[in-house]
Structures are given as structure tokens and as C-alpha cells.
Amino acid sequence: MVNKGFKPDVILCTKLIKGFLNARNVAKAVRVMAILESHGEPDLFAYNALISGFCKMNQIESANKVLHRMRNRGCLPDIVTYNILIGSLCSRGKLELAREVFSQLALYDCHPTVITYTILIDAIIVQGGIDEAMKLLKQMLSEELQPDMYTYNAVVRGMCKEGMVDQAFDFIMNLAELGCEPDEISYNILLRAFLSRGRWIDGERVIEKMISRSCEPNVVIYSILISSLCHDGKMKDAIVVLKTMMAKGLTPDAYSFDPVISALCKDGRLDLAIEFLDFMISNGCSPDIVNYNTILAALCKSGKAEEALEIFEKLSQTDSPPNVSSYNTMISGLWNSGDPKRALNMVSEMVDKGIDADQITYNSLISCLCRDAMVEEAIELLVDMQNSGFKPTIISYNTMLLGLCKIHNIDTAIDILAVMVENGVRPNETSYILLIEGMAYSGWRAEAMELANSLVSIGVVSKDFFKRLNRTFPMINVYKDLSNSDIEK
């Protein structure tokens, strides 16, 4: 079009820039802007679109270059431009840089808005700075900017996070004087904060205030109550709340039922948990994969892998097909029940369905292989885990150390410890204890005691462990430098 002498339309170009950036095709978005700059007239919206795209992809330097270029071309950034930059910096934890941009607004005759302040307040609270956030709120009010409930709720969330729950309650109750009425989110934050601290009377007070202000409890409020009651072991009360909620015409969601199902599974009442699952379905609430995974895990833990498999095989016919967590549960469950062949078939099925393994999949399989003394296969899987882009964790390595020490393969265990350090995973006390005990059980008692003594002296393993080791493998007069008080019962 440009080659034929047509002037590019700025609105069309802005849409193209947004489209290419949404498709993560930065090169073409930049090319469109270049054509617009050389043959047309880019406006504020076009530049903001490009800056926003760069910020979303964490390319702050590129965003800054666009900012300087637009200024040089006489297109002055507006507060939207700066909000984009400040928001991007805050979301990436670069609060100091965000503050710098904020402090420079006056230099460019650009006035912060409610959104600007709210972005900063939210970010400051995330980093635990409620006092500084309150100062910003006062500054905002002094500039005659009216905060909205998103701003106030950010402050309430910060207060609760810092343990200032009573102050948060008073703050919410006084909002009407500031021309703002608390919303459902405000009450949700307060209720969750009180109940998580076991302050049920104050929780009831929150609900009473909520109702008195014509804000009826919603599904979220009831779900918080149910979750807290289940956490405190008050199952009967939780079920009463669930029934009350339904009696009021509210339809519980999967989040409402999940704490009840989890609590029943934890108490070993699996039949009742499965009944609740059926009750959910009959009342028009489709269980989500979290509900199903809770049941599967409880059944497998109870040694009922076959029953779990029956439920698992029906999941593909529901609205909640199995995810990687479902497969992880079934792989461990089947292997632990003595059916490694079906467990490995489950791995193949997962791969065939395009469900990627995660760290838990690898760690579970390594654990299963080590438990059955198949350490060579476990080591191969550890290497495959690394090659697949998953960094083995301390759990992965400790599992390997346990498996190798169980079969008295101490040389390879020491090699694994060395690999662990080379890969930047620092051994913990458990790692060293596994190795020391493995050495002792393999007949290397003197070496095990010597290593234990060295590690105790530098504070890597505890003296309590050394005492326990000395009781299990008594070595008379091996270390005279340890006082009798260190090794006596």
C-alpha cells in the first residue's frame, strides 16, 4: 500500500501492532510501527500499544526506547503510558524503578490518577510495606483523588497480611465516611483473616455487619466459612452451613465442596466422601479435577488403587478430564499396590494424550524405582528429567541417595552427591544422614563415624544424630575429641 503511494491509516496500524504483539510476533509489530513512522503519523494510542506489548513480554528496555522515540517525535506520553510502565515494573518486583517513574511524572506535567496510585499501593503491600502504602493513600486523598474499592481492598488486604486485622475491620467500617461502601470482596478478605486466626466471634460480627449494610453473603463467603470449619474439624457445622447456603437459593460450586471432601478423606471416611461427590452431581454442581484428585489420592493412600482406577477411567467422560496430578496419583498408587506394569502403562497413556510430565511425575517414578532396587533405571530417569528441562530437586537427589544406600552402593551414592553439588543443589542434613547411615550399614563404620564427626563439628548435622548413630553403631574410643557428654544417652 505504501509503495503505491497510500498513507498508512493509524487506527489500522494500531490494530495490526496489537494483533502481532498478542501473537508474540514482535518483529512484525515493530515493522508496522516503522512503516507508520516513516510514511504516516503515529499517535499516542499506537505508541501505547507498542509500549504495552513490550512491557507484557518483559522487554522494558525496548519499551523505554519507544518512549524516548515518541517524545523526540513530538508525541508526548500521557498518564496511560506511564501507568503501563509503572504497572509492568511493579508486576516484576522492580518497585524502586516504578517509584522513579512515578516521581518523574511532575517533570512531564503528567498527573497521577487513581489507577497510578492503586498500582503502586498494591505493589508496596505485596512487599510488606503497609505503612508506606498508607502514606500513599493519604497523598492520594490530599490531591483530591477519590480511591475506588479496588484501592481500599488492596489496603485492607495489606493490613490483614501484616496481622492488623482489627485495624482492617475499623478501616472498612469507616469507609462510608470517605464516600465509599465496602463490597463483597472487602468482607471476604476480613472474614478469611479472622477465621484463619480462629476468631469465630469476630467472623460472625463481619457477617452481621455485611447483612446490616444490605450486602448478602454470597457463595464465596459461605465457601470461606465451610473451609474454615473443616480446617478446625467442625465437619457437622460445615455441612449445616452448606445446607443453609442451598436453602437460601445459592448453588455451591466445586470450591464449596472441596474442603468437605478433603476433610472426609483425611478422616478416612472415603465412602461418605464419594457420596458427597454424587450429591454434588445430583445438585447440578459438576465436580472439578481437584475434587476428583482428592478422592483418587485418598483411595490410593488407603491401598484401594483398583477403586481409584475405576473412578479415574470415568474421568474422560466428565467435564473434568484427568490432568498431570491425576496421573501422578495413579502411577504411584498402582506401583505401591504391586502393579508396576500398569503404572508404567499409565505413563505411556499420559504421554500419548499430550499431558506433559512434571517434577512430581519424575520424583514419583524415581521413588518407585528406588523402592524396588531398580537404581540404574532411576539414575537414567534422573538424567532424562534434567534433559527434559526439569531441574532435579533436593527431593529427587535424596530419593536416589536412599535407593543407592539401601543396596549398599555407596560409591555411586557419593557420585550422586557430587553431581548434586555440581548442579547447584545444596545437600541438606537429610542428604548427609542418608549417606552416613548407608556407609555404616554397608560395613564402613569407622568412615561413617569419621564423616559424621566432621559434619557435626561444622554444624551440618546435629549432635543428636551423632548420638543416635553412636548408639546404633557403637565405636569405643574412636573419637576422643568428642566429650562424653556429647555421646552419652
95-118 per-position pLDDT tens digit: 888 888 888 888 888 889 999 999
Terminal-residue alpha carbon distance, the chain: 90
Confidence class of residue 58 from pLDDT cuts 50, 70 and 90?
Answer: confident
Mean pLDDT across 36-44: 89
Confirm whether 185 is domain-assigned: yes
Distance CA 378, CA 465 (A): 28
- The range of the structural domain enclosing residue 161 comes to 148-216
- H-helix or E-strand spanning residue 127: none
Return the closest-CA partner of residue 212 out of 156, 158, 172. Answer: 172
Mean pLDDT across 42-46: 90
Confidence class of residue 335 from pLDDT cuts 50, 70 and 90?
Answer: very high
Q: Provide φ and ψ at 193, rounded to 5°.
A: -65, -45
User: Percentage of the chain surpassing pLDDT 70?
Assistant: 97
> What is the pLDDT, as a whole number, of residue 477?
40
> What is the pLDDT, as a whole number, of residue 147?
87
Distance CA 30, CA 63 (A): 11
Name which residue leads in pLDDT, 61 or 480: 61
> What is the pLDDT, as a whole number, of residue 482?
40
161-220 per-position pLDDT tens digit: 888 999 999 998 888 887 788 888 999 999 999 998 889 999 888 988 888 888 888 888
Joined grid coordinates for residue 449:
563415624
Residue 475 pLDDT > 80:
no
144-165 per-position pLDDT tens digit: 888 888 899 999 999 998 889 9
Confirm whether 134 is domain-assigned: no
Tracing cell 465457601 back to the chain, one arrives at 223
Total domain count, the chain? 1
> What is the pLDDT, as a whole number, of residue 485?
39
Confirm whether 190 is domain-assigned: yes
> What is the pLDDT, as a whole number, of residue 114?
92
Confirm whether 174 is domain-assigned: yes
Distance CA 226, CA 209 (A): 19
Please, what is the average pLDDT of the chain? Answer: 87
Confidence class of residue 328 from pLDDT cuts 50, 70 and 90?
Answer: very high
Return the closest-CA partner of residue 252 out of 218, 289, 275, 207. Answer: 218
Mean pLDDT across 227-236: 88
Confirm whether 155 is domain-assigned: yes
Distance CA 262, CA 257 (A): 9
Confirm whether 162 is domain-assigned: yes
274-303 per-position pLDDT tens digit: 888 888 888 888 888 999 999 999 999 999
Alpha helices in 4-74 (DSSP H): 10-22, 26-39, 44-56, 60-72
Residue 61 pLDDT > 70:
yes
Confidence class of residue 391 from pLDDT cuts 50, 70 and 90?
Answer: confident
Residue 468 pLDDT > 90:
no
pTM over 0.95: no
> What is the pLDDT, as a whole number, of residue 476?
39
Other CB atoms within 10 A of residue 358 CB: 16
Confirm whether 455 is domain-assigned: no
Confirm whether 461 is domain-assigned: no
Secondary structure of 206-254 as H, E, C letters: HHHHHHHCCCCCCHHHHHHHHHHHHHCCCHHHHHHHHHHHHHCCCCCCH
E strand residue ranges, 377-484: none
DSSP for residue 57: T
- H-helix or E-strand spanning residue 144: none
113: buried, middle or exposed (CB in 10 Å: 19+, 13-18, 0-12)?
A: middle
Confidence class of residue 474 from pLDDT cuts 50, 70 and 90?
Answer: low
What length is written for the chain? Answer: 489
Q: Which residues contact 293 (CB under 8 A, 6 or more apart)?
A: 323, 325, 326, 329
Confidence class of residue 489 from pLDDT cuts 50, 70 and 90?
Answer: very low
